[in-house]
Chains A and B, each alone.
Chain A
Amino acid sequence: MKVAVTVWGKRISPVFDAASTLLIVEVDNGVQRGGTFLKCICENTAGVIRTLRAADIEVLITGAICREAADSLEAAGVRLIPFVAGRVDHVLADFLEGKSLTGCRMPGWCGGRNGRSRKCRGR
């Protein structure tokens, strides 16, 4: 299985739409097999989908993402884990161990994808 992470230095990119680098990681039986960086203009969701497909990526871990982009990615068959914050190595370690990434979620996230049980504050 291959996993992509939008990265900003050593951290997860805060906003998917503004991210410019993807870290592609191959996972084999819960173990990471190397990683490669790809330049990618994430604002162009169709381009990201093409890139993910070409690299045969199943999972995308990213920061905040707008609904339209999230819908497009999920419709393209990508398993999306959005609104994740923190150091890339910590997040990947948790993911590889099969832990839920709930502890790495950004504040205010409604857990809205796949069921959209939204109980948010705000406007």
Chain B
Amino acid sequence: MTVDNNFSDSAQKVILESISDGVFTVDHNWRIMSFNRAAEEITGISRQEAIGRYCWEVFRANMCESNCALKRTMQEGKSFISSSTYIINGREERVPITVSTAQLVNAEGEILGGVETFRDHSLVEELRRELSGQYQMGDMVSRSQAMNKIFTILPQLAESDSTVLIQGETGTGKELLARAIHSLSKRKENSFIAINCGALPDNLLESELFGYKAGAFTGAEKDKPGLFAAAESGTILLDEIGDTSAAFQVRLLRVLEEREFQPLGGVETVPTSVRVIAATNRDLEDMIDTGDFRRDLYYRINILRLRLPPLRERLEDVPLLIERFIERMKLRSGLEIRGVTPEAMTLLLNHDYPGNIRELENIIEHCFVLCRSGEISPDHLPPYLRKPAEHVKKQSCQQPGLRKASLSETVNSTEEEAILAALERNSMNRTKAAAELGMHKSTLYRKIRKLNLALPEQDGRTGHSLVSSQ
């Protein structure tokens, strides 16, 4: 019997040490009692360091503080399987993981503590990114042609050290694009710093960017390095550059031309090798005409220019973005939201998003407050979205039994709307509509047939019969 027990104990140890899932056990005081090899590898913490410490000091998951699965297991006596979360390892990296928990019970049924197993999902995340690589760049996802053009040129653009100008409406992801440029560049190991130039008055903006010397002004008791110094050899994003004053524009122009800056109150200049990315939601060319933006600065920052399209011009991205925001908020909240009902998706696809991607993200966050599990339905959407679109009749809405819109259905529906709208705008002229949609005429014909769109038999230009009624 003792031999059997000894064998069983040693077998368990071998098994625990050979599996690729991290496993640790805690006692009733949340102190770690055991910590296997995989747990060491995933967390970057040795067994010696981990044993005896509180589990949250070692595991460091974003669920520890408010949504601890192990705590719920210990309180409710039930196991949790595959909750998604992330931990922060000793190298300040977020590691995506899934967690399962159970009570630790001995042969007599006595509860000794809890056991938590966790699996590193970094590789899965990488593969997912790899598989959808054509749609993803940095933290941005898109299926639209306009965005994919940007994604295609981004690596070459990142290699260069030239100044980049990003133009786009508020909420289109200008900072994400700047971050993507930085992370693809040879500067990626150095800092990326973003500052909203429009949010600060001139003197404060200059002291933030260039720093100041002790005694430069009342209250400046010691030297303070600015963001240009902090971002040395890295990248700095000057957001809302169109909202800066003429005086600041002169100062910035000098920095960009001479590659050096002068801290406030200083007499010596400091060389800088920071790469500057400028962003704005305003039309700088119009501002030059009205005298609100310096032409020379415009030419200095407009070396490489990217225009981020607003979300209403790439509605095909809405389902993809919704999926991403739901995944992100599931991690944050621990809620098991499966997706969006077809009815809710219809409403979301019929909105024109003046606040762009940021607005969509806020909408999904709003839904997570009202929807605690299952699917997001129209009732969970903000009230201003809950007006049925009259010009679109989605097939999914006509089938109450249908519970979930697939991605292809929603993409088709978006395509259908875009095609019908373009045809209407061009008096049913297929050639003009195709040109407006950025596709060849034959592609438009193929899509019209594939989507089975009911159109007038006469082409608005030629009078030729086009679509056979089916």
B-binding residues in A (CB < 8 A)? 8, 13-15, 17-20, 43, 63-67, 70-72, 74-75, 77, 82-83, 85, 106-110, 112, 118, 120-123
Known: A14-B57, A15-B61, A75-B193. A121 touches B44 (CB 8 A): yes
Q: Report yes or no: A66 in contact with B230, Cβ–Cβ below 8 A.
A: no
The one of A8, A67, A112, A121 that contacts B45, using a Cβ cutoff of 8 Å = A121
Docked CA distance A83–B231 (Å): 23
Q: Which residues of A contact B192 (CB under 8 A)?
A: 71
Q: How far is the CA of A85 from the CA of B45 in the complex (A)?
A: 15
Contacts of B46 on A, CB cut-off 8 Å? Answer: 107-108, 121
Complex Cα distance, B100 from A36, in Å, reads: 37
Interface window among B48-56, B278-286, B313-321, B381-389: B48-56
Across-interface contacts of A18 in B (CB, < 8 A): 62-66
Asked if B193 and A72 sit within 8 Å, CB to CB, the answer is yes
Interface-central residue, B54, B88, B332, by most chain A CB under 10 Å: B88
Interface centre among A74, A108, A118, A120 (most CB of B within 10 A): A108
Query: What's the tally of chain B residues with a CB closer than 8 Å to chain A?
Result: 40
- In the complex the two chains form, is B57's CB within 8 Å of A106's CB? yes
* Chain A residues closer than 8 Å to B43, beta-carbon distance: 108, 122
B396 to A: closest C-beta gap in Å = 34
Indicate if the CB atoms of B57 and A123 lie closer than 8 Å. Answer: no
The minimal Cβ–Cβ distance linking A4 to chain B, given in whole angstroms, is 17
Instruction: Tell me the smallest distance from the CB of B87 to a CB of chain A, in Å.
Output: 8
The stretch that binds A, out of B89-97, B146-154, B241-249, B291-299, is B89-97
Rank and list the top 4 A-B pairs by shortest CB-CB distance, nearest first: A122-B44, A108-B45, A108-B90, A107-B49
B60: Cβ under 8 A from any A Cβ: yes
Cβ-defined contact, A122 with B58, below 8 A: no
B residues in contact with A17, CB < 8 Å: 62, 88
> Which residues of chain B are near A43, meaning CB under 8 Å?
332
Determine whether B41 belongs to the interface, using a CB cutoff of 8 Å to chain A: yes
Cβ-defined contact, B60 with A122, below 8 A: no
Could you tell me the distance between the alpha carbons of A8 and B46 in the complex, rounded to whole angstroms? 25
CA A108 to CA B93, docked complex, whole Å: 12
B64 engages A107 (CB within 8 Å): no
Q: Determine whether B452 belongs to the interface, using a CB cutoff of 8 Å to chain A.
A: no
* Contact status of A123 and B44, CB under 8 A, knowing A64-B88, A65-B88: yes
CB atoms of B65 and A118 under 8 A apart:
no
Contact with A along B287-329 (1 / 0, CB 8 A): 0000000000000000000000000000000000000000000
Give the CA-CA distance A23 to B374 in the complex, in Å: 37
Q: Which residue of B45, B88, B95 is within 8 Å of A107 (Cβ)?
A: B45
| Shortest beta-carbon distance from A20 to chain B in Å | 7
Contact residues in B for A19 (Cβ distance below 8 Å): 65
Report the nearest B residue to A113, measured CB to CB: B92
Taking CB atoms, residues of chain B closer than 8 Å to A110 are 90-91
CA distance A83 to B56 in the complex (A): 12
**Contact of A65 with B92 in the complex, beta carbons under 8 Å:** yes
* Contact A123-B95, Cβ < 8 Å, known A8-B65, A13-B65, A14-B65: yes
Instruction: Flag if A122 contacts B230 (CB, 8 Å).
Output: no
